[in-house]
Structure 1
């Protein structure tokens, strides 16, 4: 896999989107490996339930659903705490709908992933009907993980865009793009997770 070529394409696309580029930004590691599809599917369903709760779905029902669908073990520690506490810190988890978007694209449910806009409300249609206690069997059966090269390419672009966001903040520069920062960051988080072995809560999104 030509990571330098991938970076050149990322920089070209970043420019088109109105972001500054850094020609000295390190390339992604050349020993990247994609997690098994079962893990990606399980993690996406766990995150889906958490995001649903951040939009006021009942937490106890979400836990029951996760247990029944046998994906509760894919929750992160912070998500377990969130689902079992009374106080709501919903903003953090609401923003992770963009991580769901990255998962939906990576599993073949979404045809393309564009960084010039946030995901729309149609995203939820690709996931099980948790509000009506729907099964995840069809979702699991239809999932088809994209190639590692495709996921790495999109992750590399997200990395470049994230650097531009951090750099703009550090230098008090306004970005030309009006896309909310969490769109880039949460998509990158999901993509990075698929390409590493770290726990979700321990991912370091360095730039």
Structure 2
């Protein structure tokens, strides 16, 4: 193939030139022409050239007005083996606002394909192959042209501009951002000045204290089953116990689609169970907001799982658990959400550049803590399983 296209949802492309330089540095000469680039090998023989064309919704509105609906129509007509994945794909396409089209003068060789994949990862985009195959940012197939699902653990990624419109600045948001950056600088962690502010607390769609409490209890209970699945335990006995506990606390309807699927699957997937087991960290953020944990410490070590279980297991009913809660202020929760948002960017930035997460952070802890905090504040009013992890 001679063509490889990256679609993405990004607030801006200010860092794109640097990312291209990082990917092609050393063995290539890079020439910039407006917003486009020409990349050519430095070798004397077998020279290879690649044109990189950059389009955004701001600079090329006509392209997006005509091509994005066409792309949605193309994938909508495909008979996906997994209808849920089809919905996720169509959602992702609907929020694209950036295209990076790579065109080689000859068929892409293995080395060039590897470079394309590195740029795809750096942009956190979706790769489009000429036959219609879609790749996730890690190069794993999302879906094949015949509708067969690939191995990618895919969820849509949308920038704030596409979900909330252009960034709206506020005195509160700026103050919170400055405080978070000061916290991050003290620990010598990289940060991005242009990462948007979070909205003022009054503009968010907050979950109620009772909804947070019920989500916490339901999540903790299903995590126990997920751990048994991941560790190869007695699933029949575990499912019976979990089902009874959900009934006892009256939180069955507060399960998410992913949690119900895990419980209902006769042969639950190990990775799906591991993903839910990691949500101990999201649960920890919930019970912190409910006043049951003293502080959210730096995300470099896992939460106290024994205590996490105890705060629910020592209660005989949801009502007893709920009486123990004392909701923290919205301002305090927003402060933590803003901080984890910027720490997540630092983790992603280091990962993209082949480095460990800074200051000993565990990115899985950061991601799940962000899930819990962002779900509570209702930043985009997203479902628990669909919390946007844009950075």
* Fold shared per TM-score above 0.5: yes
Q: Give the C-alpha shift of residue 123 in structure 1.
A: 2.8
CA contact (8 A) 1:33 1:148 kept: no
Q: Is residue 2:205 matched to residue 1:23?
A: no
| Deviant stretches of 4+, over 4 Å | none
Q: Is residue 2:357 matched to residue 1:175?
A: yes
Higher helix fraction (1 or 2): 1
Deviation by residue 1:53-98 (Cα, 9 ceiling, x = unmatched): 1222812321222123221111110100011113243211111110
Q: Give the C-alpha shift of residue 125 in structure 1.
A: 4.8
Selected match of 1:49 from 197, 209, 221 = 221
Q: Give the C-alpha shift of residue 139 in structure 1.
A: 1.3
Higher strand fraction (1 or 2): 2
Q: Mark the runs of 5 or more structure 2 residues left unpaired by the alignment.
A: 1-170, 229-236
CA contact (8 A) 1:102 1:187 kept: yes
| Distance (Å, rounded) in 1 between the aligned partners of 2:358 and 2:248 | 46
| Distance (Å, rounded) in 2 between the aligned partners of 1:174 and 1:92 | 20
The SS at the match of 1:55 is helix
| Distance (Å, rounded) in 2 between the aligned partners of 1:111 and 1:126 | 15
Q: Which has the larger radius of gyration?
A: 2
CA contact (8 A) 1:19 1:175 kept: no
Selected match of 1:191 from 373, 379, 388 = 373
Partner in structure 2 of residue 5 of structure 1: 175
Q: Is residue 2:220 matched to residue 1:60?
A: no
Deviation by residue 1:8-51 (Cα, 9 ceiling, x = unmatched): 11111122334211111001123123211111011111111111
| Distance (Å, rounded) in 1 between the aligned partners of 2:336 and 2:349 | 20
Q: Is residue 2:258 matched to residue 1:78?
A: yes
CA contact (8 A) 2:351 2:357 kept: no
Partner in structure 1 of residue 64 of structure 2: none
CA RMSD, 1 decimal: 2.0
Compared CA separation, residues 106 and 167, structure 1 to 2 (3 A)? same
| Distance (Å, rounded) in 1 between the aligned partners of 2:276 and 2:375 | 16
Q: Mark the runs of 5 or more structure 1 residues left unpaired by the alignment.
A: none
Compared CA separation, residues 175 and 78, structure 1 to 2 (3 A)? closer
Aligned residues: 205
Normalised TM-score (structure 1): 0.90
Give the stretch that moved more between structures: 150-159 or 16-25. 16-25
Q: Give the C-alpha shift of residue 136 in structure 1.
A: 3.1
CA contact (8 A) 1:104 1:126 kept: no
Selected match of 1:117 from 301, 308, 315 = 301
